[in-house]
A and B are shown apart, each in its own frame.
Chain A
């Protein structure tokens, strides 16, 4: 019926700005996580499968810090900016250190061996960390489904237009992520350590000959990637509020998809890929049911994301912006 079609179109137009905003928030989240995958892939050529748990660890550190502040009564007295800085710093530091420890224990002994071996070890680490987190929270709080305490200063909305309200939470995600991405750009491209990371990614042997301490650079890369993942975790927790040890799996998989989408090993690629995937997913979630008259709904957003991955790999196996990894040594 033409009337119904017109109604669908009107609805589609009306929700467009909101969907766009959701997509951008999700996109920044994926971009932050994807950077961890892509940087590690750049220096080691291997998928750090446990990165999704590093991300969840960040979310858990965030909730623990907030709950501790709450129980000591400081959540109401401290300045909001102070609280945010504390939570974000703690999440980034602990996730970064955990990623470094992971590299030391589970990956370094396997360097130079077949790739499959390291990947399997990473999968093992991912599973171990999931249940490790669960074990810790079960013993510590007797539950492993935690929710972020409400922060009043984050629960307000900025009405931008009549149709579009901007939650302060979303604004926080966008601003923090943007600032971090700019910072990362300067770190990688302008600082000496960033140059060392790029050198190792290009060719570890030559970098070693030029006096770069390759192992330390690899550890540093894990730290930076892990810290970005931890930041994403804290932002994820603040934005969606509920976390459990297994909530990293799907976002991790999506973020990896984003990294591949942009071209693995490619830092700007991870940002572009993350943003694209976030938008794609938000639009799929809202528009699939409008497009198909309710036959397929938001529950197919994961299917759309993975189909996108498969299609990209078939038609553009090196990603949108191209891979920047060295030719694999046979």
Chain B
């Protein structure tokens, strides 16, 4: 009896929020309300089929359509997608296997540089023959290749250190990420592999292989209009593949072995779980996800430099996983979405608003402090620059009050 009611309510909400976004294409809040529809969809008491259909409608039709009205929406959606994929990868390492990896961004960087070096004219600097940039069709080859390279790097790093105690592992992975960043930053000498801090550009975009089909259908969109939509669907596809792989892994022998190791390593060992091999596998799977997302990121950004791969990013992804709930797939998705929106929209919005107030020279009267002229607010104070504080607070508060996260992993029913 409750179901049809909830379904009707959901449809109404989706319609209303998309109408809002349609009539106010500049409004951040309207767009947030559309995104919230997905969360409601997860919580609403409707059947699985209705959930899938409605989710597909929102993700495949509504969001792209709204994106054609305001390209910024698609940009945000793509960013969210990239972080969701990263969070899902880290979720395997931290959430399933229970290994704290503080250098996750290193694998992301490896994937990004893999495509950046060979998908741009840059590789001509050390490989003679003028073969580069590779044709866009190679993009998909590199997407697959990066999975292998990421897994291999994960294994090479994991092999010596996975026998260590957990907190040593955290520091070693952190050191590894710093080493990768230092290498990327400095390997413009003696052979120019990475172009150092100047970064690499222009990086090739994926091929528009479906363009003839669109023309045949009578849709003649320009490349500039097509790419944002294309990236949106590409990221969506990658995220779906990652979710599918993660789900399959979670409910397999491997997933159960991971959780056994996380809950009690000694007991798992006694039950015959090959602990080191399973840890390596988890490490490698997480790394390969990050590396594949890196290729996508490089192609989307067109320009990358070492600034995008700092310790901040590793902690940001960790904060996403922890906020959502370690070991929970919906949690990782929610955490990544929440933190990205917080970073890209709320903090930036707050900064703009404060700047506006500062310029208007408004005077704020506070009950205890008296009158405070906002024009005197120090110029250094900008909320958008304080993402570390936000991440830090998320981590402490979650650990103290709700270590299992917002959407905790469901306990296996027996």
Residues of A within 8 A of B (CB): 46-47, 106, 109-110, 113, 115-121, 123-132, 134-135, 138-139, 142-144, 249-250, 253, 256-257, 260, 295-297, 299-300, 302-303, 306-307, 309-310, 313-314, 317, 328, 330
User: How far does the alpha carbon of A37 sit from the alpha carbon of B403 in the complex, in Å?
Assistant: 24
Cβ of B378 and Cβ of A138 under 8 Å apart?
A: yes
With a CB–CB cut-off of 8 A, which chain B residues contact A297?
A: 186, 189
Nearest opposing residue in chain B for A144, CB measure:
B380
Which of the candidate stretches B50-58, B81-89, B234-242, B384-392 sits at the interface with the other chain? B384-392
| Chain A interface main SS type | helix
User: How far does the alpha carbon of A314 sit from the alpha carbon of B186 in the complex, in Å?
Assistant: 26
Cβ of A310 and Cβ of B186 under 8 Å apart?
A: no
With a CB–CB cut-off of 8 A, which chain B residues contact A302?
A: 178-179, 182
Contact residue among A129, A130, A253 (Cβ-Cβ distance under 8 Å from B175): A253
Cβ of A124 and Cβ of B399 under 8 Å apart?
A: yes
With a CB–CB cut-off of 8 A, which chain B residues contact A328?
A: 165
With a CB–CB cut-off of 8 A, which chain A residues contact B19?
A: none
Closest chain-A Cβ to B216's Cβ sits at a distance in Å of 53
With a CB–CB cut-off of 8 A, which chain B residues contact A144?
A: 380
Cβ of A313 and Cβ of B161 under 8 Å apart?
A: yes
Q: Does B170 contact A (CB under 8 A)?
A: yes
User: How far does the alpha carbon of A123 sit from the alpha carbon of B399 in the complex, in Å?
Assistant: 11
With a CB–CB cut-off of 8 A, which chain B residues contact A130?
A: 388-389, 392
Cβ of B100 and Cβ of A127 under 8 Å apart?
A: no
Contact residue among A127, A139, A143, A314 (Cβ-Cβ distance under 8 Å from B160): A314
With a CB–CB cut-off of 8 A, which chain A residues contact B395?
A: 120-121, 123-124, 127
Q: Does B185 contact A (CB under 8 A)?
A: yes
Closest chain-B Cβ to A277's Cβ sits at a distance in Å of 12
With a CB–CB cut-off of 8 A, which chain B residues contact A314?
A: 160-161
Closest chain-B Cβ to A155's Cβ sits at a distance in Å of 30
Closest chain-A Cβ to B404's Cβ sits at a distance in Å of 10
With a CB–CB cut-off of 8 A, which chain A residues contact B172?
A: 309-310, 313
Contact residue among A120, A143, A303 (Cβ-Cβ distance under 8 Å from B399): A120
6 closest A-B pairs by CB: A124-B395, A128-B392, A127-B392, A131-B389, A138-B380, A306-B175
Cβ of B174 and Cβ of A303 under 8 Å apart?
A: no
Cβ of B389 and Cβ of A119 under 8 Å apart?
A: no
User: How far does the alpha carbon of A152 sit from the alpha carbon of B182 in the complex, in Å?
Assistant: 36
Cβ of A313 and Cβ of B396 under 8 Å apart?
A: no
Cβ of A46 and Cβ of B167 under 8 Å apart?
A: yes
Closest chain-B Cβ to A104's Cβ sits at a distance in Å of 12
Closest chain-A Cβ to B397's Cβ sits at a distance in Å of 8
Cβ of B100 and Cβ of A116 under 8 Å apart?
A: yes
Contact residue among B190, B391, B399 (Cβ-Cβ distance under 8 Å from A121): B399
Cβ of A115 and Cβ of B166 under 8 Å apart?
A: yes
With a CB–CB cut-off of 8 A, which chain B residues contact A330?
A: 264-266
Q: Does B322 contact A (CB under 8 A)?
A: yes
User: How far does the alpha carbon of A300 sit from the alpha carbon of B380 in the complex, in Å?
Assistant: 33
With a CB–CB cut-off of 8 A, which chain A residues contact B174?
A: 253
With a CB–CB cut-off of 8 A, which chain A residues contact B170?
A: 47, 119
| Known A-B contacts A46-B167, A115-B167, A117-B403; A142 and B379 likewise in contact (beta carbons under 8 Å) | yes
Kindly identify, within residues 391 to 411 of chain B, every residue whose CB is under 8 Å from any CB belonging to chain A. 391-397, 399-400, 403
With a CB–CB cut-off of 8 A, which chain A residues contact B171?
A: 47, 253, 256-257, 260, 309
Q: Does B183 contact A (CB under 8 A)?
A: yes
Cβ of B392 and Cβ of A125 under 8 Å apart?
A: yes
Nearest opposing residue in chain B for A264, CB measure:
B168
| Chain B interface main SS type | helix
Q: Does B311 contact A (CB under 8 A)?
A: yes
Nearest opposing residue in chain B for A137, CB measure:
B380
With a CB–CB cut-off of 8 A, which chain A residues contact B176?
A: 306, 310
Closest chain-A Cβ to B391's Cβ sits at a distance in Å of 5
With a CB–CB cut-off of 8 A, which chain B residues contact A310?
A: 160-161, 172, 175-176
Q: Does B381 contact A (CB under 8 A)?
A: yes
Cβ of A110 and Cβ of B400 under 8 Å apart?
A: yes
Contact residue among B100, B167, B178, B389 (Cβ-Cβ distance under 8 Å from A132): B389
Closest chain-B Cβ to A233's Cβ sits at a distance in Å of 19
Closest chain-B Cβ to A105's Cβ sits at a distance in Å of 8
Q: Does B329 contact A (CB under 8 A)?
A: no
Q: Does B98 contact A (CB under 8 A)?
A: yes
Closest chain-B Cβ to A290's Cβ sits at a distance in Å of 15
Q: Does B318 contact A (CB under 8 A)?
A: yes
| Known A-B contacts A143-B380, A309-B172; A121 and B400 likewise in contact (beta carbons under 8 Å) | yes
27 contacts between A and B (CB under 8 A): A47-B170, A115-B166, A116-B166, A120-B318, A121-B396, A121-B400, A123-B102, A125-B396, A127-B392, A127-B395, A128-B388, A131-B386, A134-B385, A135-B389, A139-B380, A253-B175, A260-B168, A295-B189, A296-B186, A297-B189, A310-B160, A310-B161, A313-B161, A317-B164, A317-B168, A328-B165, A330-B264
B168, B264, B397: most-surrounded residue (chain A CB, <10 A): B168
Q: Does B290 contact A (CB under 8 A)?
A: no
Contact residue among B182, B265, B311, B400 (Cβ-Cβ distance under 8 Å from A300): B182
Contact residue among A47, A116, A125, A127 (Cβ-Cβ distance under 8 Å from B315): A127
Kindly identify, within residues 200 to 235 of chain B, every residue whose CB is under 8 Å from any CB belonging to chain A. none
| Known A-B contacts A135-B389, A328-B165; A295 and B190 likewise in contact (beta carbons under 8 Å) | yes
Cβ of A303 and Cβ of B182 under 8 Å apart?
A: yes
Cβ of B394 and Cβ of A124 under 8 Å apart?
A: yes
Closest chain-B Cβ to A269's Cβ sits at a distance in Å of 15
B164, B174, B186, B399: most-surrounded residue (chain A CB, <10 A): B399
With a CB–CB cut-off of 8 A, which chain B residues contact A260?
A: 168, 171
Nearest opposing residue in chain B for A293, CB measure:
B190
With a CB–CB cut-off of 8 A, which chain A residues contact B190?
A: 295-296
With a CB–CB cut-off of 8 A, which chain A residues contact B186?
A: 296-297, 299-300
User: How far does the alpha carbon of A306 sit from the alpha carbon of B183 in the complex, in Å?
Assistant: 12
With a CB–CB cut-off of 8 A, which chain B residues contact A309?
A: 171-172, 175
B98, B171, B182, B386: most-surrounded residue (chain A CB, <10 A): B171
With a CB–CB cut-off of 8 A, which chain B residues contact A110?
A: 399-400
With a CB–CB cut-off of 8 A, which chain B residues contact A119?
A: 100, 167, 170
Closest chain-A Cβ to B176's Cβ sits at a distance in Å of 7
| Known A-B contacts A139-B381, A142-B380, A300-B186; A253 and B168 likewise in contact (beta carbons under 8 Å) | no
Closest chain-A Cβ to B153's Cβ sits at a distance in Å of 14
User: How far does the alpha carbon of A313 sit from the alpha carbon of B172 in the complex, in Å?
Assistant: 9
Contact residue among A109, A115, A135, A296 (Cβ-Cβ distance under 8 Å from B381): A135
